[in-house]
């Protein structure tokens, strides 16, 4: 097997495990495609989902001239979710992402943080996937949240390296303040708990507005190594992150 960046012979397919948890979110008794259920703006709930969606919109407008920024009227309107999704549809970074997928992402984040049973089931699956030989954990998007929380339990001392890709861990209120364990809340900015690894490399595309806070060093301490890359128009795509040479280098460093 070849790592992104060209390193060969370091890993075989037998050395790699995968934590799948999408089925835990899916309603039982329904066949769903890869993009999730047929959701629309009307399915976006008030509270966490609306807050995160509007944060995405604001960030997308900052980095993409094709996205009109929200104003006082749209932020306060009942149809703010619809306006946000319409604005995001014009982003060059979401050229291949359907509206239903965006809403499905929102639902997964809100369910993870508000449904204790779902959170526990996903954490159990993560814990079962880590064995005594696991040294490097690579986690994308919401997966970085469950990986971080799982490693914070200190039940996996053999894991030395965490590599996060397009991670929303630093998003205040919506994600950061809902983590377990919670960040410290002293006089300064919140500081997240270190997840017990020797090295943490956080790889992000500044055009990935889903991550919102691309630099985790300021939130989790100076030991985090933030690495900026460019994924082109597919800013949040897992395959783009995984095929980056910087990701391959981070994994290779953890295996040596």
Say what the pLDDT of residue 77 is.
Answer: 46
Say what the pLDDT of residue 6 is.
Answer: 60
Tell me the range of 9-23, 49-63, 64-78 where mean pLDDT is highest. 49-63
**Does residue 125 sit within a domain?**
no
Residues 140 and 100 in one domain: no
Least confident of 7-16, 25-34, 77-86, 159-168: 25-34
pTM confidence score = 0.91
Residues 75 and 150 in one domain: no
- Please tell me the distance from the alpha carbon of residue 162 to that of residue 254, in angstroms, as a whole number: 9
Say what the pLDDT of residue 9 is.
Answer: 61
pLDDT tops 90 at residue 34:
no
User: Average model confidence (pLDDT) for the chain?
Assistant: 88
pLDDT tops 60 at residue 35:
no
Residue 17 pLDDT level (bands cut at 50, 70, 90): very high
Residues 160 and 92 in one domain: no
Residues 181 and 251 in one domain: yes
**Does residue 187 sit within a domain?**
yes
Residues 104 and 218 in one domain: no
**Does residue 124 sit within a domain?**
no
* Number of compact structural domains in the chain: 2
Q: Name the residue with tokens 């050395």.
A: 15
Across residues 15-42, what is the average pLDDT? 76
- Please tell me the distance from the alpha carbon of residue 180 to that of residue 194, in angstroms, as a whole number: 12
pLDDT tops 60 at residue 75:
no
Sheet containing 136-140: order of strands: 136-140, 161-165, 199-205, 224-229
Asked which of 114, 149, 177 is the last residue of a domain, the reply is: 114
Quote the domain boundaries for residue 72: 41-114
């Amino acid at each position: 097997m070849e790592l992104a960046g060209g390193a060969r012979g370091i890993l075989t397919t037998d050395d790699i495990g995968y934590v799948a948890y999408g089925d835990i979110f899916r309603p039982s008794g329904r066949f769903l495609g890869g993009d999730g259920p047929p959701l629309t703006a009307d399915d976006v709930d008030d509270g966490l989902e609306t807050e995160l969606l509007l944060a995405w919109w604001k960030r997308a407008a900052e980095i993409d001239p094709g996205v009109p920024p929200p104003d006082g009227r749209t932020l306060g309107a009942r149809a703010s979710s619809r306006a946000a999704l319409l604005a995001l549809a014009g982003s060059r970074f979401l050229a291949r992402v359907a509206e239903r997928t965006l809403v499905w992402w929102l639902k997964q984040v809100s369910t993870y943080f508000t449904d204790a049973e779902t959170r526990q089931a996903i954490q159990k699956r993560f814990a079962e996937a880590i064995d005594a030989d696991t040294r490097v954990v690579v986690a994308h998007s919401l997966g970085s949240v469950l990986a971080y929380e799982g490693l914070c339990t200190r039940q996996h001392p053999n894991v030395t390296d965490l590599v996060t890709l397009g991670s929303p861990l630093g998003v205040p209120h919506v994600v950061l303040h809902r983590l377990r364990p919670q960040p410290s809340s002293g006089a300064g900015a919140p500081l997240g708990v270190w997840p017990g690894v020797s090295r943490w490399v956080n790889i992000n595309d500044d055009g990935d507005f889903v991550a919102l806070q691309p630099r985790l060093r300021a939130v989790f301490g100076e030991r985090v190594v933030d690495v900026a890359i460019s994924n082109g128009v597919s800013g949040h795509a897992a395959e783009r992150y995984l095929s980056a040479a910087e990701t391959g280098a981070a994994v290779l460093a953890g295996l040596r």
